[in-house]
Chain A
Amino acid sequence: MDVLATRYYYLVTFVVLGLGAYMMIANRNIVKKIIGMNVFQTGIFLFFIAAAYLDGANPPVLTAEPPYVSPLPHVLILTAIVVGVSLTAVALGLVVRIYAEYGTLDAELIREVRHDE
């Protein structure tokens, strides 16, 4: 229980990961699948940031007193966020094309339409 009380953010990480993965798999709407993908990635961002957190620590700048929180995971996640945004942009671009082609965002319907082709 002690772990749960002090490390709950790791628990939240995996709840978020699970939610995101579930949305990607179970949701029929492809835009919501993309949202699921974003939620999934957010879980990982949380994981890194939580790992860098140190209780009572200061930001790692020269004028602040040690101990410092670790700056590196923040930088890594900044990069990962940029990657995530690019992915979302490409995914939404594809959605626009799919909608223009099939007139629906429903993954099941698209599959049926394509089966008939």
Chain B
Amino acid sequence: MSDLVPIAVAVPIFASVVALLAGLVRRKTGWHVAVAGSVVHVGIALELARRALFDETVRYVVGGFTSPYGIELVVDGLSATILVLVAVVSLGVLGYARVAGPRSNAFYAAYLLLTAGLTGLSVTGDLFNMYVFLEITGLAAYVLVATGEGGRSAVAALRYLFIGTVGASLFLLGLGYAYIATGTLNMVHLSELLAEVGHTTTLVQTAFAFIVVGLFIKVAIFPLHTWQPEAYASSPDSVSALISALVSTVSAYAFVRVVYTVFTADFLAANPLARDFLLVAAAVSIVAGSALAVAQSEVKRMLAYSSVAQFGLIVAAVSLVSETAMVGAVVHLVGHGLMKGGLFLAAGIVATATGARTVADYDGLADRMPVGAGAFGVLALAMVGVPPAVGFVGKWYIALGAVESEAWGLTVVIVASTLLTLAYFARLVERMFFREAPEVVADGADATAEGTVTPAAADGGDESPPTGRVTLGMYALVVTAAILSVALGAGVVGYEQLIESTVTSLLS
């Protein structure tokens, strides 16, 4: 019954086609199709995760070939975790898109295609297959970014497309080097043959360099992040939540996969330079991402730069080659996905209800929409790493791993990253809760509480007046994300035991 693995990829693709075709018959049916597809997808993901975490790794070879010749799909503890995150977040964001839109069937077709690409990326055990899913994910993401209104999102999407394509192409080039060195594409088989070829040969080192740089572009590690802030900021709120929560996360998962399953920890041990490169890239990304986040005036851009810093933490954990840090990386991947997705949704409802899109607009937000501001505040503090939130647990494990590996420089950067995160979130929290709202906006307070359209707020030169309706469901979703970001922190100890065997085999 390992047939479920390809079905997990096929369901969203099938639903995507159905959504597109249904649109020909009747408009605005896409959402219903997407929800149906996503519910099935979540069910399959949960079942696969149950098997992978409690029984054993699920394997499936496509097309009746045998491994290592056919394309292998593998679900182990790590991929199962990411799979569930992808399925749940896609379903959750659909709840937000119901009213917030975009509503066309084509949008939901692209949405489901993105889910399919991300699912494929998390279950594949074949390097070239990973490239194909990387591109499917990318294509769907470019299209989704472009669904925003006006020229801004189209320009951002084109920029994303150019840079993303170069990233994927570099990945393909590196893959070519690895293939020429070994003659295989199956990840596990590659790792054996790469070791035989020799981890210090130029061919293998070049393959590593190209693949890692390609994936850094996809993950948006400083200074290869330039596509990311504008893409997040210019897309519709539901899209920025989905993409920020999943696309970089799954790309980072791919990065972990490639480094540990394909090149293995031995490669990093044999090439101190490669390890130092990862370390430095991580440290630079953490510091620069945070510094840039502080400098932003637009809230969504600030959140985007925050991601650059947070993914620096993940790369740092990978470069440490420590089991503790690896658990931290997985926890932080999931935690960051939830928190960042939640923050973008929270920013979305704030913008929809009050028109506030810049940091200055957030003055006195707690009075205007207490629930939205409260959820935003909780999520922001969880991201900073206030115990017992999941953001704290992830960073704690990574920092612990750094201490165990005696990487003191990195330990300092990781601890400092918490302060830096605080630096950009604190000013928002302070504005929301401890400042008076500007006069003009206060008039709209009653209307906001009822979730209806408020009169045009904030005359501070803001280009987007309140645009729509904030439904109870949207609030519920953001509050759920906030509660999860705190509650999941408590579940990490149990989860650590479940994933222990996966992490051990990954690092061996």
Contact = CB atoms under 8 A, between A and B. Distances in A.
A44 interface: yes
Contacts, number: 74
Contact of B161 (A73, A94, A101, A117): A94
B154 A21 contact: no
A72 B65 CA distance: 15
A97 B154 contact: yes
B166 interface: yes
Interface string B139-155: 10011001000111011
Contacts of A40: 165-166, 169
A76 interface: yes
B202 to A, nearest CB: 13
B400 interface: no
A73 B179 contact: yes
Grouping DSSP codes into helix (H, G, I), strand (E, B) and loop, the B interface class, with mixed when no group exceeds half, is helix
Given A48-B176, A79-B132, A21 B150 contact: no
Given A44-B172, A87-B135, A94 B162 contact: no
A101 B150 contact: yes
A87 B151 contact: no
A71 to B, nearest CB: 12
Contacts of B169: 40-41, 44
Nearest to B463: A117
Interface residues of A, number: 32
Given A21-B166, A37-B165, A44 B132 contact: no
A51 B162 contact: no
Contacts of B128: 76, 79
B153 to A, nearest CB: 9
Interface in B153-179: 154-155, 157-158, 161-162, 165-166, 169, 172-173, 176, 179
A41 B131 CA distance: 13
B7 interface: no
A80 B173 CA distance: 11
Interface in B87-121: none
A8 B236 CA distance: 48
A86 B158 CA distance: 14
Nearest to A111: B155
Interface in A92-111: 93-95, 97-98, 101-102, 110
B180 interface: yes
Contacts of B146: 93-94, 97
B166 A98 contact: no
Contacts of A97: 146, 151, 154
Contacts of A21: 166
A51 B176 contact: yes
Contacts of A15: none
Nearest to B184: A72
Contact of B154 (A51, A73, A94, A117): A94
Contacts of B172: 44, 80
B132 A101 contact: no
Contacts of A86: 135, 139
For B132, B139, B155, B166, which residue has the most chain A Cβ atoms within 10 angstroms?
B155
Contacts of A79: 128, 132
Given A94-B161, A97-B146, A47 B155 contact: no
A93 B154 CA distance: 9
Interface in A7-57: 17, 21, 24, 30, 33, 37, 40-41, 44, 47-48, 51
A18 B334 CA distance: 38
Interface string A64-86: 00000000110010011001001
Given A44-B169, A97-B151, A110-B155, A24 B162 contact: yes
A26 to B, nearest CB: 13
B135 A101 contact: no
A90 B155 contact: no
A76 B129 CA distance: 10
B179 A101 contact: no
Contacts of B139: 83, 86-87, 90
A24 B142 CA distance: 17
Nearest to A80: B172
A8 B132 CA distance: 29
A95 B158 contact: yes
A90 B152 contact: no
A111 to B, nearest CB: 9
B274 to A, nearest CB: 22
Contacts of A83: 132, 135, 139
Contacts of B185: 72
Interface of B: 128, 131-132, 135, 139, 142-143, 146, 150-152, 154-155, 157-158, 161-162, 165-166, 169, 172-173, 176, 179-180, 185, 463
17 contacts: A21-B166, A24-B162, A47-B176, A51-B176, A51-B180, A73-B176, A73-B179, A76-B128, A79-B132, A83-B132, A87-B165, A90-B139, A90-B143, A94-B142, A94-B161, A95-B158, A117-B463
List 9 tightest A-B contacts by C-beta distance, closest first: A101-B151, A97-B154, A94-B158, A83-B135, A98-B154, A51-B180, A94-B154, A91-B161, A44-B173
Given A97-B146, A98-B154, 7 more contacts: A24-B162, A44-B169, A47-B176, A87-B139, A90-B139, A114-B151, A114-B152
Interface of A: 17, 21, 24, 30, 33, 37, 40-41, 44, 47-48, 51, 72-73, 76, 79-80, 83, 86-87, 90-91, 93-95, 97-98, 101-102, 110, 114, 117
